[in-house]
C-alpha cells in the first residue's frame, strides 16, 4: 500500500517510556479497561479509511468521565498523544492512532442516561450508537434526526467529532443542529459542561466549535441531543432520467418550488447497476441517473406533495416513475441505496469522497468528476445526497495494486479540489481526518489555517489531541 500521507514522527520520549506508561495507566483504570498486548491492539490500529494503519501504544476503554479525566490529566502531564475513538467507522482516518498515542475508546460508555420527553431531549454517554437513540425513543413516537449510513455502529461521540449528517439532513440538519449540550474532558483533565437542555449558549458558542473538531479540542463523554416527534409516515418515490443533467436540474426545481423533501438521493448508472445487482431493488437499468425523493407527513399530505414532485419530474422528461403502495415497496427502494457502499465493496476496493458543492454546480461537477477518473484509467460510481450538494463519488480500484491505489488517491484529490473550486468544500460529513489534511491549503489561506490552529491551541497548547489530523504538518506553529 502506498504511504503517501505522513503521520507526525513518534515522540521517542514517549516510546521509550512505554512500559512505565502502561503501568501508570493500569493504576488509573480497572484492568479490563486497559489493552496493551500487541495482539489485542490490532483492532485499534485502523478505522474505516482502510488505507493506513498504526499500532497505538495502548488503548484505554474507560467506563466513567472521571476515568477519562484521570487519563487525560496523566497524558497531558507527560505530553503523550491521545486519539479518541468511538466505533472506528471514520472514512477519513479520523480514528487511526499513531505509535506514540494512547487510544481513548468510548465504547464502554454506552448507556442512555435519561430520556426527557417533555423537554424533548435525550442525554447519553458518548459511546452510545447513533441508531440506538432512535430505537430507545421510537416506541414513544420520537426520533433523533441525524442518520449517517453507519448509524448501526457509529457512536454519538464520533458523530460530534465529525459533525455527521446523513440522508435526512435536508430537513432536520446535521449533528450540530441537533446537539444541545456536552460534558467534555479538557486536555488537562478538567471536566466542563457546555449547553444543556436549554437553547443557545450563555457566552461563546463553544459547543458549536467543539462539534466537528475531530477530537482535537477535548474528549466528549456525554451528550444531550434534541428529540423530534416522528412523522406519521414517510414515503419515497423513485425517478429514472436519461441524463445526470436532467436529474440535477430536477433537484434544483424541486427545491426552488418551495417543497423541502426530507431526502433527495442521487445515483448514477454505475451505482444503479452495482446496487441493483446486490439488492435486487427493482431499479430501472435503462436510465442514466436515478433520484429517490422522500416526503413525510400524513397520507393526505404525502399524496399532495408527491403529486407536485412528480409533476416537476415530468417537466424534466422523467423516464421512470415508481411510487410505492406499501411499506415493503418503500423499504425496497431504500434498500438499494443503503447498500450502496457494501455492494460496491463486493466488486472492488473503493475510496469514498465527500466534497460538497452548491446545488447549481451538481451537473458540472459530475461531468468533471467522470473526466478526472477516466484520465486516471479508473471507474467511478456516484451515490449522494443531492438535496444538500454533498457528493460521494466512489472511486473503484484494486488495493493490491499499489500503483492503482496511488492513482485512486490522486484522482480523489483532484475531485475534491474541483469541489472547492466550484464554491464548495472538501468534506461535508466525513471530516478532514488524515485523508484530506494536505488538501486544506486548497480551501484555506495560510492566515486562515493559522487562525484555526491558534484557536485549537487555546484548547490544547501541546497539540497532543489527535495531533496528526486536520491541519497540514508543515506550517504548524
Tell me which residues in 171-230 interact with other proteins (CB under 8 A): 173-174, 176-177, 186, 190, 192-194, 196-209, 211-213, 229-230
In the range 380-399, which residues lie near other proteins by CB under 8 A? 385, 388-390
C-beta neighbour count of 138 within 10 angstroms = 13
* 229 vs 331 by CB, closer to other proteins: 229
| CA atoms within 13 A of residue 97's CA, in its CB half-sphere | 27
Single residue of 12, 31, 139, 458 touching other proteins by CB under 8 A: 458
* 110 vs 134 by CB, closer to other proteins: 134
413 part of the interface to other proteins, by CB under 8 A: no
Residue 58: helix, strand or coil by DSSP? strand
CB of 108 to other proteins, least distance (A): 25
* 25 vs 357 by CB, closer to other proteins: 357
CB of 157 to other proteins, least distance (A): 15
113 part of the interface to other proteins, by CB under 8 A: no
Residue 119: closest CA among 163, 203, 181: 181
What is the C-alpha to C-alpha distance for residues 61 and 278, in angstroms, rounded to an integer?
Answer: 37
In the range 356-375, which residues lie near other proteins by CB under 8 A? 356-360
Residue 69: helix, strand or coil by DSSP? helix
What is the C-alpha to C-alpha distance for residues 77 and 369, in angstroms, rounded to an integer?
Answer: 47
CB of 132 to other proteins, least distance (A): 21
C-beta neighbour count of 141 within 10 angstroms = 13
* 66 vs 201 by CB, closer to other proteins: 201
Q: Phi, psi (5° rounding) for residue 192?
A: -125, 160
CB of 470 to other proteins, least distance (A): 7
In the range 152-171, which residues lie near other proteins by CB under 8 A? 162-163, 165, 169-170
* 59 vs 167 by CB, closer to other proteins: 167
* 230 vs 476 by CB, closer to other proteins: 230
Q: Are 165 and 148 in contact (CB under 8 A)?
A: yes
Question: 3-state DSSP helix/strand/coil percent for the chain, to nearest 5?
Answer: 40, 20, 40
The Cα-based distances of 469 to 120, 368, 440 in angstroms read 35, 28, 11
Taking CB under 8 A as the binding criterion, the range among 29-37, 74-82, 250-258, 321-329 that sits at the site for other proteins is 250-258
What is the C-alpha to C-alpha distance for residues 391 and 355, in angstroms, rounded to an integer?
Answer: 6
66 part of the interface to other proteins, by CB under 8 A: no
* 193 vs 367 by CB, closer to other proteins: 193
Cell, residue 375 = 484520465
Cβ-count burial of 188 within 10 angstroms (0-12 exposed, 13-18 middle, 19+ buried)? Answer: middle
In the range 419-448, which residues lie near other proteins by CB under 8 A? 423-432, 436, 440, 443-445, 447-448
CB of 163 to other proteins, least distance (A): 4
Amino acid at each position: 500500500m502506498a504511504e503517501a500521507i505522513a503521520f507526525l514522527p513518534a515522540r521517542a520520549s514517549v516510546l521509550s517510556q512505554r512500559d512505565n506508561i502502561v503501568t501508570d495507566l493500569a493504576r488509573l483504570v480497572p484492568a479490563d479497561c486497559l489493552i496493551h498486548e500487541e495482539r489485542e491492539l490490532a483492532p485499534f490500529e485502523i478505522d474505516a479509511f482502510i488505507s493506513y494503519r498504526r499500532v497505538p501504544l495502548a488503548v484505554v476503554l474507560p467506563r466513567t468521565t472521571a476515568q477519562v479525566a484521570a487519563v487525560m490529566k496523566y497524558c497531558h502531564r507527560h505530553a503523550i498523544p491521545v486519539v479518541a475513538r468511538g466505533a472506528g467507522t471514520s472514512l477519513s482516518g479520523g480514528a487511526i492512532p499513531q505509535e506514540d498515542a494512547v487510544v481513548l475508546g468510548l465504547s464502554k460508555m454506552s448507556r442512555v442516561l435519561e430520556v426527557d420527553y417533555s423537554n424533548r431531549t435525550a442525554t447519553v454517554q458518548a459511546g452510545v450508537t447513533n441508531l440506538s437513540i432512535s430505537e430507545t425513543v421510537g416506541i414513544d413516537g420520537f426520533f433523533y434526526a441525524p442518520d449517517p449510513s453507519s448509524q448501526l455502529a457509529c457512536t454519538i461521540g464520533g458523530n460530534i467529532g465529525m459533525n455527521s449528517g446523513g440522508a435526512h439532513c435536508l430537513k432536520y440538519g446535521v449533528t450540530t443542529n441537533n446537539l444541545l449540550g456536552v460534558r467534555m474532558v479538557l486536555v488537562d483533565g478538567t471536566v466542563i459542561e457546555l449547553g444543556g437542555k436549554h437553547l443557545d449558549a450563555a457566552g461563546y458558542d463553544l459547543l458549536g466549535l467543539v462539534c466537528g473538531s475531530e477530537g482535537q479540542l477535548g474528549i466528549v463523554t456525554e451528550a444531550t441531543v434534541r428529540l423530534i416527534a416522528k412523522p406519521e409516515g414517510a414515503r419515497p418515490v423513485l425517478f429514472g432520467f436519461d441524463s445526470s443533467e436532467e436529474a440535477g436540474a430536477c433537484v434544483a426545481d424541486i427545491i426552488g418550488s418551495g417543497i423541502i423533501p426530507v431526502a433527495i438521493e442521487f445515483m448514477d448508472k454505475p451505482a444503479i447497476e452495482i446496487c441493483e445487482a446486490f439488492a435486487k431493488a427493482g431499479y430501472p437499468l435503462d436510465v442514466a441517473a436515478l433520484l429517490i425523493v422522500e416526503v413525510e407527513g400524513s397520507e393526505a399530505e404525502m399524496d399532495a406533495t408527491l403529486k407536485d414532485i412528480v409533476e416537476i419530474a415530468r417537466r424534466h422528461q422523467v423516464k421512470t416513475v415508481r411510487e410505492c403502495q406499501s411499506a415493503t415497496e418503500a423499504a425496497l427502494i431504500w434498500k438499494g441505496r443503503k447498500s450502496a457502499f457494501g455492494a460496491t465493496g463486493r466488486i472492488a476496493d473503493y475510496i469514498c469522497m465527500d466534497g460538497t458543492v452548491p446545488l447549481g454546480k451538481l451537473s458540472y461537477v459530475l461531468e468533471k468528476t467522470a473526466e478526472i477518473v477516466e484520465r486516471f484509467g479508473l471507474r467511478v460510481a456516484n451515490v449522494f445526497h443531492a438535496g444538500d450538494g454533498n457528493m460521494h463519488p466512489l472511486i473503484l480500484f484494486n488495493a493490491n495494486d499499489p500503483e492503482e491505489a496511488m492513482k485512486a488517491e490522486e484522482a480523489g484529490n483532484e475531485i475534491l479540489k474541483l469541489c472547492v473550486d466550484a464554491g464548495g468544500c472538501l468534506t461535508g460529513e466525513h471530516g478532514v481526518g488524515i485523508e484530506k489534511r494536505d488538501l486544506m491549503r486548497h480551501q484555506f489561506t495560510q492566515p486562515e489555517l493559522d487562525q484555526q490552529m491558534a484557536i485549537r491551541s487555546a484548547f490544547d497548547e501541546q497539540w497532543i489531541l489527535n495531533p496528526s489530523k486536520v491541519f497540514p504538518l508543515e506550517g504548524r506553529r
